[in-house]
Amino acid sequence: MLKFTEDHEWVRVDGEIGTVGISDYAQEQLGDVVFVELPDIGKTIAKGDEAAVVESVKAASEVYAPVEGEVAAVNEALNDNPGLINSDAQGDGWFLKIKLADASQLETLMDEAAYKTYVEGLG
Amino acid sequence: MSQDHDVQDLKRTPLHGLHLSLGGKMVPFAGYDMPVQYPTGILKEHLHTRDAAGLFDVSHMGQAALVGPDVAAALETLVPGDIQALDHGRMRYTQLTNEAGGILDDLMVTKLADDRLWLVVNAACKLNDFALIEGALDGRARLERAEDRALLALQGPKAAEVLSRLVPDAAALPFMAMAELDVAGTPALVSRSGYTGEDGYEISVAADDAEGLAKLLLAQDAVAPIGLGARDSLRLEAGLCLYGHDIDETTTPVEAALVWSISKRRRAEGGFPGAETIQRQLADGPQRRRVGIRPDGKAPAREGTPIMKDGRAIGTVTSGGFGPTVSGPVAMGYVETAHAAADTAIELEVRGRALPGRTAKLPFVPQRYYRG
């Protein structure tokens, strides 16, 4: 199951683990990513709180947790190659894996078709 | 993350249509709708400029002639630069100062003739600058605003080879010199100058000629269009100040480490706004100074980042980001003079954490100006 937030994060759920990243639209808006700050493993993050920071040449942006949970893993590959976010935002450019605290929170997020419509509306 | 802005209110340069046709991502800058990048992206645009040649639209900047029988002495009443010492066709970097010695704008001044100077000022400041100059020099010099002109910058190690193909006289033009040249049929004021730390030119042409010349330059091997994003990272690596960020009305040329732009005669004689403050700082040293900064890690320290030493605030970052040629974070900012020596260990407070870093000599990337 793949879901999106209005802030352009995605979460792909497999069992009780959700993998989190930013959308392809978001990476395109950011431009070249040069640095990523990832959270500590084991940290609990509330839905909508800052989970990571992504910096392009121009500016720093927060990545918010789409759902509440405990950080189970982070994508260490981004430390040496933050450009993965530009080349494969919704695949190899994932940020973190989160152990879901409340799966029902997923229902508040958009599915892929709804997110596509949402992005088109941004013009 | 969308960047909404009312494009109705924004001014356009003569190259606006070209930017759109090249896929430029347009953003508001100093009241103009300007390309921050093209589809290539800031990183590649930056590296292309350092490797080959980049074409920048800087038509938003203010261009004007200042005319009067003693125009050099007249302008010296407003700037600390040595304008009277300029030879014909030579240009100089200086600042408009206020009574406190603060910087109202920084600008380039070229001597076209004994009674004629050419000024290029920042876009965001141009209306104020021109009003100030007209008011202060009323009856002594006349300002002719060149609103019908565009300004292109061609920058990079291949700029000379490219421009010389179109106008052979460009090859031997000295650094910080200007000449009236015919560029493939287009009359132009060409100077060997720029703001990237690379060899290159700035080319002033009539607005109607701008698009044709830009297209001709872009058709040359080695030339790519470069947006404001890379312009910013290039000038930051070159250690050059951005007005409104690294220098403003609260910073003096001495604090900003721009004393090289004030000649011995002008330091001694004064005669410009804020001279007392600037002379006192030259004699006693300023309380703070602009320095380069290298964070130890990979996290950029952006504008506004507090600079700490042993847990105490000693300054603030005024420009900071990722340097594509350095391949790491670079910044500049002001620190208390006691901590301004290069290679001083400091901390940068980024998102609540004190990250280690060091003050550094500027520029971060060696300047490669043409030296003949």
Q: What is the ipTM of this complex?
A: 0.88
B292 vs B206, B316, B331, CA distance in Å?
Answer: 38, 12, 6
Which pLDDT band holds residue B8 (cuts at 50, 70, 90)?
low
Mean pLDDT in chain B? 96
Mean pLDDT for B136-140 is: 97
Residue type, B319: S
Mean pLDDT for B72-76 is: 98
Which pLDDT band holds residue B14 (cuts at 50, 70, 90)?
very high
B140 vs B3, B63, B68, B73, B128, CA distance in Å?
Answer: 46, 19, 6, 10, 19
Average pLDDT, 10 consecutive residues per value, chain A (123 residues): 97 96 96 96 97 94 97 97 97 98 95 97 85
DSSP, residue by residue, A13-26? EETTEEEEEE-HHH
Interface of A with B (CB under 8 A): 7-8, 26, 29-32, 34-35, 37, 53, 55-61, 79, 122-123
Contact residues, chain A, for B44 at CB < 8 Å: 32
- Taking CB atoms and an 8 Å limit, are A32 and B41 in contact across chains? yes
Taking 90 as the threshold, does the pLDDT of residue B2 lie above it? no
Q: How far apart are CA B340 and CA B336, in angstroms?
A: 6
Taking 90 as the threshold, does the pLDDT of residue B165 lie above it? yes
DSSP-assigned beta bridge partners for residue A61: A54
Query: How many residues belong to chain B?
Result: 372
- Taking CB atoms and an 8 Å limit, are B351 and A53 in contact across chains? yes
Interface check B27 vs A, CB under 8 A: no
Give the pLDDT score at B1.
Answer: 37
Q: How far apart are CA B329 and CA B342, in angstroms?
A: 17
- Taking CB atoms and an 8 Å limit, are B300 and A32 in contact across chains? no
DSSP, residue by residue, B26-68? EEEETTEEEEEE-TT-HHHHHHHHHHSEEEEE-TTSEEEEEE-
Contact residues, chain A, for B2 at CB < 8 Å: 29, 122-123
B23 vs A59, B54, B225, B360, CA distance in Å?
Answer: 21, 16, 10, 37
In this predicted model, what pLDDT tens digit does every residue of B34-64 receive, in sequence order? 999 999 999 999 999 999 999 999 999 999 9
Chain A: residue nearest B46 by CA? A57
Taking 50 as the threshold, does the pLDDT of residue B204 lie above it? yes
What are the structure tokens assigned to B350, written together? Answer: 């980024």
